[in-house]
Amino acid sequence: MSRSGGLAEVRRIGRRVESLGRRARRSHRLAFVVLTLTSIAIAVSGFVWQTSVPTSLLIIPLVVGGLLLRFRELVALTIITVTFGAFVVLSRGPTMPRVGFVLVLAIVGWIMLTSAKVRSRLGVPGTRGESMLMELRDILTAQGELPDLPAGWLVDVAIQSAGGSSFSGDFVVSTTRGDLLEVALVDVSGKGIDAGTRALLLSGAFGGLLGVVPVEEFLPSANRYIRRQDWDDDFATVVHVVIDVQTGEFDVRTAGHPPAIHFDAWSGRWQTRDADGPLLGLMEAPEFPANHGQLKLGDALFLYSDGMVETPRRDIGRGTDRLVGHAERLVAQGFQGGAAELVASAGGPGDDSAIVIIHRMAHA
């Protein structure tokens, strides 16, 4: 068989195994029957061919059952497997290890049952809970994808979660409405996985608000939504920017968030654009003033979370100067790929870090 033919056969077998796994997750009764028969077959084979078939193979259906079965079905499989395993092992001679194996088999079953009990509280059997988390993570990632823009505009986004997890308390939502581009960078209180659940909730809510309510009503509406959640001490900070992609005029509104940074290509200066709005979720009817400006050809606007500029040993002011120093090096390359580079070089390792670069290119 040729090498390409062998690889094709391996892929075909892999697809069949994956298909069987999906069917098993959907049909728990079928999986229970197959695993029970497998346990019985292993036990009978171990009883008949004691020197050829190790009874320790009974651990395999227990582990697989812990991944695929509901709690009640797993209890039945565990009882059947441990009973048959104990019968086979105890029927052997006194020189063979017996009590220890039965004890190990029972402990493995108990571990699988404990894990399944935790998953059963969600009403999600088997590995479906992990699949749902991955789908939610993909939804959060998709929310951060920015829409296509006219020629001459570049938008770059990078988000890094604390501890390298897949979930982050920082997220981006965006939309276009005619010639208007709306982008909101949100930082939920907490970091990493602890803030990930709230970030998932708010990303869907804020993504639904963006482009539906008037631009000046986005932050007040977001504040009312968080207030309705009745969270104890949790809050969110947001920087919201609206840009006219025809004229380059923009409005920046912040809610307790670090100010946006405006790079003026004509003068080479960097200027913070702060609007001094309060944190979301703490006040009943706050006001969010707008900071107006314009992106000329070659200009850029930076939105970033506090993880990019603040550490326990460094305040936001010094961190902002440090971020500007890193960003200065990207001017020559037109900020292409600059978001990921800035997160890697300036982002704090112990906090979620996110940055959005909106660049009006001098040459389309």
Where along the chain do its domains lie?
3-126, 136-360
Residue with the larger pLDDT of the pair 218 and 61: 218
Rounded CA separation 63/113 (Å): 10
Q: Please name the residues in contact with 246: beta carbons below 8 A apart, sequence gap of 6 or more.
A: 179
CB 165 within 8 A of CB 193: yes
Arithmetic mean of pLDDT over the chain: 79
pLDDT at 205: 85
Task: Encode pLDDT of 293-315 as tens digits.
Answer: 999 999 999 999 888 887 656 56
**H-helix or E-strand spanning residue 360:** strand 353-360
Report residue 164's pLDDT band, with 50, 70 and 90 as the boundaries: low
Residue with the larger pLDDT of the pair 354 and 104: 354
Rounded CA separation 243/177 (Å): 10
CB 285 within 8 A of CB 349: no
Q: Which of 4-8, 79-83, 357-361 has the highest mean pLDDT?
A: 357-361
Read out DSSP for 220-258? HHHHHHHHHHT-SS--EEEEEEEEETTT-EEEEEEES-P
pLDDT at 325 over 70: yes
Which backbone phi and psi does 288 adopt, to 5 degrees?
A: -125, 90
Task: Encode pLDDT of 194-245 as tens digits.
Answer: 666 777 778 888 888 888 899 999 999 999 988 888 776 678 889 999 999 9
Torsion of CA 276, 277, 279, 285, to 10 degrees: 150
Torsion of CA 338, 339, 344, 348, to 10 degrees: 140
Record: fold of 136-360: Phosphatase 2c; domain 1 (3.60.40)
Task: Encode pLDDT of 252-272 as tens digits.
Answer: 999 988 889 999 988 889 998
Provide mean pLDDT across the span 33-39: 84
pLDDT at 144: 62
Among candidate residues 143, 172, 138, the one with its CA nearest the CA of residue 157: 172
Residue with the larger pLDDT of the pair 126 and 253: 253
Task: Encode pLDDT of 135-159 as tens digits.
Answer: 766 766 666 677 788 888 999 888 8
Rounded CA separation 140/131 (Å): 14
* Rounded alpha-carbon distances, angstroms, from residue 148 to 5, 176, 245: 42, 9, 12
Which backbone phi and psi does 240 adopt, to 5 degrees?
A: -120, 125
pLDDT at 105: 77
Percent of the chain residues past pLDDT 70, beyond the cut? 75
